[in-house]
Chain A
Amino acid sequence: MSVFFAALGGTILLASFAIGFGLLLTGIDRRVAARMQARVGPPLLQPFTDVRKLFAKQNIIPANAIPWLFNAMPIIALASSIAILLYLPFGSFAPVLGAFGDVILVLYLLIIPSLALVLGGFASGSPYATVGAQREMVSMIAYELPLAVTVISIAWRLHAAHVAEPFSMLTLMQTPVWDVVGPLGSTALLILLVVMAWVTPGELSKIPFDSPEAETELAGGILAEYSGRNLGLFALAQAVKTVAVAAFGIILLLPWNLSPFLGLTMVAAGIADLVFFALKVLFVVSISVTVVRMMMARFRITQVVGLYWLVLGGLGALAIFLLMADTSYVPGMI
C-alpha cells in the first residue's frame, strides 16, 4: 500500500515538475533560437500561454478520423512520457519505480509516445498525417539502433567491470561509466556521446530529423489534423519527453552529481544535485536541439535512415570494439 501511495505521490510530483520544466525548456529553446537568428523571439513563458490557449480552443475531430483512437493517442502519449520519468533517477533522487524496471524498460517506454503519435496520425484519415506517420515509424526504426547500441555497450562495460546490476538506472547514475574505463574506453564513450547527441534530436523530431512533421512538406504532417485540447496534450507530452530523453542521455553518459564534490549531505545535497541535473538537461537540449536545428536543413527520410544506420550505427560498432579492447586491458577499476 505504501509503495502505491509513494508511486502516486511521486508521479504527481514528477509530472508537474516535468511539464513545467519541459515547457520552460521549450521556451528557452525558442528564445535562444530566435537570438541566434537575430530575432527578438517570444517571451520565455510563451509555451505555457500556447498550451493554455490550445486547451481553450475547439477540439476538431476530422470526419475521416477514427474518433476513439484519434482522441486516445494524445492521452497515451502524455501518460507514457510521464511513465518514463518514474524509472529515471533525478540527481541523487532514486527512481520512483526503480525496483520494477531497468534501462531496457526505459528503452521500450521511450518508443511509446512516438508510437502514440504514429497511431494518432494514421487515425487522422488525412494524407499528410499518414505520410507523417509512415515517416515517424521509419525514423523510430532508424534511431533505435544507435540508441540501443549505446545503452547495451555501456551496460555491458559496467558488467565487465563486475558492477552489480549494470542494467539498473540507479547503478548507471551512481557509477559513472567513465570511472570504470581506461583510455580506449574513454575514446569509445566520447564516440557514444556524439551518437547520443544525434539520437536526441531524432527522438524529439527536431530539425534535421523533423520530416514526420515537416512544416513545408506536410503542413505539420503527423499533427496536421490535431487541434485544441488534443494538440495541447501532445505539446505537454513533447515537453515531458524532452526532459525524459535529455535525462536519459545524461544518466547514460554525463551522470556525475554535484554533492560529492561540494561535500553536501541530506537535503542540501538533494537540491544541489537536482539543480545541477536540471542544468545538465538544459545544456543537452541547447546543444542537441537548439544549436543543431539552427545550423541544419531538414533531411529526407532516406537520408535519416542512412545517417542513423550507416554512420551512427558504424560509430556505435566502433565504440563496442574499443570497449571490448578496453576490457581486456583494464577489466575494471572497482
Chain B
Amino acid sequence: MTAKKVPYIVPVGPIHPALKEPVHIELTVSGEEVISADFTPGQTHRGIEWMGLSRNPVQIVHLTDRICGICGVTHSLAFARAVEQIADITVPERADYVRTIIAEFERIQSHLLWAGVAAHELGFDTLFYLAWRVREGAMDAIELISGNRVNYDIIQIGGVRRDITEDQFEPIRRCLANYKDLFGKLKMLFLEDAVINSRCKGAGRLSFEKAMAYSTVGPTARASGCTADLRADYPYAAYGDLNVKPVLPTVYSNDINGDTYDRIVVRIFEIAQSIEIIEECLANMPVGRILWEEKVAGILAACKKAKGEAVGLHEAPRGECLHYVAMDLAEIPIAWKVKASSYSNLHVWPLILKGAQLADIPIIVASIDPCLSCTDRVVVTDAAAGRTKIFTKEELTRLSYEKTRRLMQ
C-alpha cells in the first residue's frame, strides 16, 4: 500500500456477525492496528424498569426473568433479595439452597455458552458446536428443576416456586458426573490448543490497577487479579454455608496477565467450581418449606406494609448484578434500578481494544462476555427530530442533584 498509512474508521455494529446483541463500536484503524476505540450502548433499550413501576413485586419478578436471555435467575434473585430486605422477609433455608443450585447451573451454562461464542469468534467452529452441545446438559438440568430452559421463573419473593424433589437428585448428579468427565477435555481444548494460545495470550490485556480503577466485576476482574466475588465477599443464599473462593488465573498458571487467555482460564475453572458447589448443596440440602408465604396475597400484604430502600446483589456469571428497589407502603415500588454486570465491564472496551490487531477485536470484545440487553437501561431520543442524545457526566450529575432536591421538598 502507500507508505503513509491513513487511519480509517471501521464500524462494528450495531448489527455485526461478531456481536450477539446490538451495540455500536467505532474503531479508528491504521493498517491492522486499532488506534482508538469508542462504543455506544443503548441500541437495545426495552423500558423494562418503566414497565415494572406499574406492577407489584410478584409481577416484577417475572419481568426480571426476561431482562436477560442467558441469566434467567440472576436478575430475579437480585430483585427478590432487595424486596425481601425491605419487607423483612426471611427466606427458608431450603429455598436458599435451591436458589444457589439453579444459580450455579446458570453459571455453568452461561460460561459454556460464552466458551462457544469465544471459539466462534476465533473461527474455531468445531469447538463452538462442541461447547454448545455440552451446554445442553446444564440446560436439561435447569429444565428438570424449573420446568423451563431459558426464563426459569423459579424465584418468588420469599423463596422459590418449585422444590427439588428426591427423584430429581439422581439425574442432577448424573449431569454433574458427566461434566466432571468432560472437564479435562474442555480444559485441554480451550487452554492447550496452539492457535487459541497464540491468538488469546496478550490480547486485550487489562492490568490489575485498571481493572480496579474501572470497577470491573466478575470473571473480567478476577482474570486481572481482583479477588472480587460476591459469593465470598458478601455471602447470601446458601453461599454462607459453603467455602467459595474467587477463581483467579493462578489456578492454571503461575502469573496473572489479565489478558483474554486468563479470562478463558477463569471461566473454565469456574465451571469446575460450580459443579462442586452444586454437589455440596445437594449433599447438605436442609428440609423444610420453600416459601416464606405460599399465598401471593400474603406476599403482597407484606409488600404493602414495607417502607424503605434496599440493594439486592447477586454474583451473576458475568459479575456483580445490582438491583436497587425503593418501596413506600404500597404494592408498587416507587423506584427500581437495574445495574447489570456488563455495565461495569463494557467501559474497559476502549482501553483494551487500543493497540489491538483488527483480527483480535471480536475475541477481545467477547472476552468480557458483554450482555447488552441487560445493560441498556436508558436511551434519550427525540422522535420528532430523529435524534438520540448522550448525556455527559456533568449533565447527569446536575440532573441527579435536581431530582434529589425535588424529592427532599
- Which residues of chain A have a CB within 8 Å of any CB of chain B? 36-39, 127-128, 130-131, 134-135, 207-208, 210-211, 214-217, 219-220, 294-303
User: Per a CB cutoff under 8 Å, which of A128, A131, A220, A297 touches B124?
Assistant: A297
Q: A217-B362, A298-B359, A301-B359 are in contact. Are A36 and B10 (CB under 8 A)?
A: no
CA distance A220 to B16 in the complex (A): 10
Quote the shortest CB–CB distance from A311 to chain B (angstroms): 12
User: Per a CB cutoff under 8 Å, which of B1, B17, B123, B357 touches A208?
Assistant: B123
Kindly specify which of B65-73, B190-198, B323-331, B335-343 makes contact with the partner chain: B190-198
24 contacts between A and B (CB under 8 A): A37-B126, A37-B130, A38-B129, A39-B129, A127-B8, A127-B11, A127-B29, A131-B358, A134-B32, A207-B123, A208-B195, A214-B359, A216-B121, A216-B122, A217-B358, A219-B16, A219-B18, A297-B122, A297-B196, A297-B199, A298-B122, A298-B199, A299-B195, A301-B32
CA distance A208 to B193 in the complex (A): 13
CA distance A130 to B120 in the complex (A): 23
B10:A300 contact, CB within 8 angstroms: no
Q: Find chain B residues with CB under 8 A from A207 CB.
A: 123, 125
Q: Does B259 contact A (CB under 8 A)?
A: no
Q: Find chain A residues with CB under 8 A from B359 CB.
A: 211, 214, 217, 298, 300-301
Quote the shortest CB–CB distance from B272 to chain A (angstroms): 23
Q: Does B371 contact A (CB under 8 A)?
A: no
Q: Which residue of A lies closest to B357 (CB)?
A: A300
Number of interface residues of B (CB under 8 A): 34
A298:B198 contact, CB within 8 angstroms: no
Q: Does B133 contact A (CB under 8 A)?
A: yes
CA distance A85 to B199 in the complex (A): 37
Q: Which residue of B lies closest to A127 (CB)?
A: B10
Q: Find chain B residues with CB under 8 A from A220 CB.
A: 17
Q: Does B248 contact A (CB under 8 A)?
A: no
Among B8, B9, B195, B360, the one with the most A-chain Cβ atoms within 10 Å of its Cβ is: B195
- Which residues of chain B have a CB within 8 Å of any CB of chain A? 1, 8-11, 16-18, 29, 31-32, 119-127, 129-130, 133, 193, 195-196, 198-199, 357-362
Q: Find chain B residues with CB under 8 A from A299 CB.
A: 195, 199
B126:A303 contact, CB within 8 angstroms: no
Q: Find chain B residues with CB under 8 A from A215 CB.
A: 17, 123
User: Per a CB cutoff under 8 Å, which of B120, B126, B129 touches A216?
Assistant: B120
B17:A219 contact, CB within 8 angstroms: yes
Q: A36-B126, A127-B10 are in contact. List 6 more A-B contacts (CB 8 A).
A: A134-B1, A216-B121, A217-B359, A219-B16, A219-B17, A297-B195
CA distance A39 to B128 in the complex (A): 12
| Closest CB pairs A-B (n = 8) | A298-B123, A297-B124, A297-B122, A297-B195, A37-B129, A216-B18, A300-B359, A216-B362
Q: Which residue of B lies closest to A215 (CB)?
A: B17
Among B8, B119, B124, B198, the one with the most A-chain Cβ atoms within 10 Å of its Cβ is: B124
Q: Which residue of B lies closest to A295 (CB)?
A: B126
Q: Find chain B residues with CB under 8 A from A216 CB.
A: 17-18, 120-123, 362
Q: Which residue of A lies closest to B118 (CB)?
A: A297
B1:A300 contact, CB within 8 angstroms: no
Quote the shortest CB–CB distance from A30 to chain B (angstroms): 12
Q: Find chain A residues with CB under 8 A from B127 CB.
A: 297
Quote the shortest CB–CB distance from B9 to chain A (angstroms): 7
Q: Find chain A residues with CB under 8 A from B17 CB.
A: 215-216, 219-220
Q: Find chain B residues with CB under 8 A from A39 CB.
A: 129
CA distance A39 to B129 in the complex (A): 8
CA distance A208 to B361 in the complex (A): 17
Q: Which residue of A lies closest to B125 (CB)?
A: A37
Quote the shortest CB–CB distance from A124 to chain B (angstroms): 14
Q: Find chain B residues with CB under 8 A from A301 CB.
A: 32, 359
A296:B361 contact, CB within 8 angstroms: no
Q: Find chain B residues with CB under 8 A from A211 CB.
A: 359
Quote the shortest CB–CB distance from A37 to chain B (angstroms): 4
Quote the shortest CB–CB distance from B343 to chain A (angstroms): 24
CA distance A96 to B123 in the complex (A): 39
Among B11, B32, B359, B362, the one with the most A-chain Cβ atoms within 10 Å of its Cβ is: B359
User: Per a CB cutoff under 8 Å, which of B9, B124, B360 touches A300?
Assistant: B360
CA distance A300 to B10 in the complex (A): 17
CA distance A170 to B18 in the complex (A): 47
CA distance A39 to B122 in the complex (A): 20
Q: Which residue of B lies closest to A219 (CB)?
A: B17
Quote the shortest CB–CB distance from A313 to chain B (angstroms): 19
Among A210, A219, A296, the one with the most B-chain Cβ atoms within 10 Å of its Cβ is: A296
Among A36, A298, A303, the one with the most B-chain Cβ atoms within 10 Å of its Cβ is: A298
